Structure 1
Amino acid sequence: MSKRHDALFEDVLKDFSATEPAPEDRGGARFLKRSSTLADTGEREEKVLRWVDPAHCVMWAGHNRAYDLLTAENCGDLIASIKAQGQQEFPAIVRRLTGSQTGAGAEYEVICGARRHFAISWLRANNYPQFRYLIEVRDLTDEEAFRLADLENRDREDISDFERARDYALALESYYGGRQKAMAERLEVSEGWLSRYLQLARLPEEIIAAYPDIREIRELHARTLRPYLGDPQQRAQLIEAAGELAAEQRAAREGQGAPVPAAKVLARLKAAAAGPRKARPPERLFRRVPEESGVAMRRKNGRVTLEFSENLSDAALEVAFRLFLEHRREARK
């Protein structure tokens, strides 16, 4: 993480008080404690880390990672690291579920740590039942939870642009009343930076479906397509092409051919929106009579190209070439 990122992270955490374990937890749970010195008073604050069964945790509805897209392959590095270390090294941040929120054995919701949750769950289901999920329980509002999760994941490459954009769009309405400036100030980012991600979240569903995976949709893609979406005709052409691509991607998921890669998706969408390229008109046209197509002359980078229909008769070509040569001699005088 960058120094600025660390500073922002600490700024968010400084207002959050550590949650003491409930009396009923003290007997049955294993605790790890870490102490931190408070800079202003010199007092020590005990923070309790707890090992739990990951089945007792569920993802927070506002989590910025698409948990259903996690697999043993894209979490392979983390799974290997936990196996090598013999345990999870860094705790996930969770908050306790209360009242009607609890159910099916769940006690906590995960604010930060979805990949760690998946990795531990996968290990326990694949011959490593000794692994447990390391958590730190905090008392957070939804807005605090959002900011904390954003700060933890902002520099991570395994969170896609689209996942982050979708999270920002939801937070804008849920926590900031649609006020983009207020949200940018709370996140300590520029309005322009935030606006680009919000534009990505607002891409039409037809375009999103054109990609092989939402994690491959980049902020740059939305920026590239935005001018076309503002023109009614180009937008219609864009949506039509997106529908064709979506059909190809569905067929690929069903085993019929290979998926269309993201770069090619963007290229095809741009080409469809721009429409067919218009041929550059010839500089001069040489022909016997107006009814004939004749010979077209085009000039580019010091070279002359003559174009004519293969059906043009020899007699018509002879006249057209003679006219071209006369024009060429006149131009050289």
Structure 2
Amino acid sequence: MSKRHDAIFDDVLKDLSAPAASDKAGARFLKRSNALAESGEREEKVLRWVDPAICVMWTRHNRAYDLLNEDNCRDLIDSLKAQGQQEFPAIVRKLPAGQGAEYEVICGARRHFAISWLRANNYAQFRYLVEVRDLTDEEAFRLADIENRDRADLSDYERARDYLQALDIYYGGKQKTMAARLEVSEAWLSRYLHLARLPQPILDAWPRLTEIKELHARSVRPLLQDAEEKVLAEARAIAAEQARARAGQGAHVPVPRVLARLKEAAHGAAPAAEKQVQGPLAVERRGKKIRLEFPDTLSEADLRAALDHFLAEHFRQ
């Protein structure tokens, strides 16, 4: 983890008090010490093994839990089976009595899914390792963000959607304030916000939401500015094809083809290539570009003669 990430963790957690330990039947407690940098005091933290069924996802969790499945959690499931237990605790908050669950998960959705899957598939001995924290919503948001920022298994769109919601909820719509709190540049944050603001037909045109990248949003944004109605119409047509593919009727439209079709909708199809043969040269014209091909066995003298002839014809036009 980078020094910047460490600094954000310190800022989020520096004023938190240690949760009191409680004695519950069947509960197992693990303790770890954390040296507080500024005061030099030590804080005892209690980790608990719990049934994942008593935990629910925080409504502002930055990972879309419904997108988790056995396939995209397979690496974690296999790792847990190999280790025999969960090594790194999830971070949770205690819920008020009467909520139907005891804890809400701030960080650790994949761990929650993997442990739940294992318990439901003949590994009932697995339990969910959690660390209970007392966090404000804004602190919880920043902590979840920094834990997942560099993880490839969190999609750009999940991250972007989380940022857009947090912008209004925690920072009053002030992008500069949010960027400062997250310790990122405004430009970096802005790119993710643009992704989250893409119209729904564009999002539906991708094979899966998890496949749409921040880079794709940068490509699509000028297309919408140039020809919004045409681009959205084509996006709806692609989305219909993707929906049929999800229903088992045909193949998905791959991402490169999605982008190509949206560009064609905005600017028209690229001009077809015109091919001519001029002696040993094959001349291909596409729009304002010309491509020349010649056999690698052509002698230098013959190549020079062919190029001289091509240039004379070209500039005579």
TM-score bracket, shorter-length normalisation: 0.7 to 0.9
Give the letter aligned to residue 17 of structure 1. S
| Distance in 1 separating the partners of 2:290 and 2:269 | 24
| Distance in 1 separating the partners of 2:6 and 2:291 | 58
| Distance in 2 separating the partners of 1:12 and 1:302 | 58
Alignment match, 1:204: 199
Are 2:172 and 1:174 aligned? Answer: no
Are 2:268 and 1:270 aligned? Answer: no
| Structure 1 counterpart SS, 2:154 | coil
| Distance in 2 separating the partners of 1:302 and 1:85 | 58
Are 2:133 and 1:135 aligned? Answer: no
Query: Larger deviation: 12-21 or 82-91?
Result: 12-21
Number of residue pairs matched by the alignment: 283
Runs of 5+ consecutive residues of structure 1 not aligned to the other structure: 281-297, 304-327
| Structure 2 counterpart SS, 1:230 | helix
Q: What is the correspondence of 1:299-318 to structure 2 with a 5 Å cutoff?
A: 301=290
Per-residue Cα deviation, 1:124-150 (whole angstroms, up to 9, x for no partner): 000000000000000111111000000
Is the Cα–Cα contact under 8 Å of residues 205 and 235 in structure 2 kept in the other structure?
yes
Q: Which residue, out of 189, 207, 210, partners 2:184?
A: 189
Is the Cα–Cα contact under 8 Å of residues 95 and 102 in structure 2 kept in the other structure?
yes
| Structure 1 counterpart SS, 2:178 | helix
Q: What is the correspondence of 1:1-333 to structure 2 with a 5 Å cutoff?
A: 1-21=1-21, 23=22, 25-26=23-24, 28-99=26-97, 102-103=99-100, 106-231=101-226, 234-277=227-270, 301=290
| RMSD of equivalent CA atoms | 2.3
CA separation of 1:12 and 1:278: change in aligned 2, threshold 3 A: same
| Distance in 1 separating the partners of 2:76 and 2:288 | 60
| Structure 2 counterpart SS, 1:136 | strand
Moved over 3 A (4+): 25-28, 39-42, 276-280, 298-303
| Structure 1 counterpart SS, 2:85 | coil
| Structure 2 counterpart SS, 1:45 | strand
Per-residue Cα deviation, 1:47-82 (whole angstroms, up to 9, x for no partner): 000000000000001011111111111111111111
Per-residue Cα deviation, 1:278-332 (whole angstroms, up to 9, x for no partner): 689xxxxxxxxxxxxxxxxx997598xxxxxxxxxxxxxxxxxxxxxxxx7xx59
Question: What TM-score do you get using the length of structure 1 for normalisation?
Answer: 0.80
1:277 to partner: Cα distance: 4.3
CA separation of 1:91 and 1:268: change in aligned 2, threshold 3 A: same
CA separation of 1:68 and 1:188: change in aligned 2, threshold 3 A: same
| Distance in 2 separating the partners of 1:195 and 1:274 | 26
1:16 to partner: Cα distance: 2.5
CA separation of 1:217 and 1:29: change in aligned 2, threshold 3 A: same
| Structure 2 counterpart SS, 1:50 | strand
CA separation of 1:237 and 1:19: change in aligned 2, threshold 3 A: same
Question: What TM-score do you get using the length of structure 2 for normalisation?
Answer: 0.84
Give the letter aligned to residue 269 of structure 1. L
Give the letter aligned to residue 238 of structure 1. V
Percent identity for Structure 1 against Structure 2:
69
Give the letter aligned to residue 162 of structure 2. D
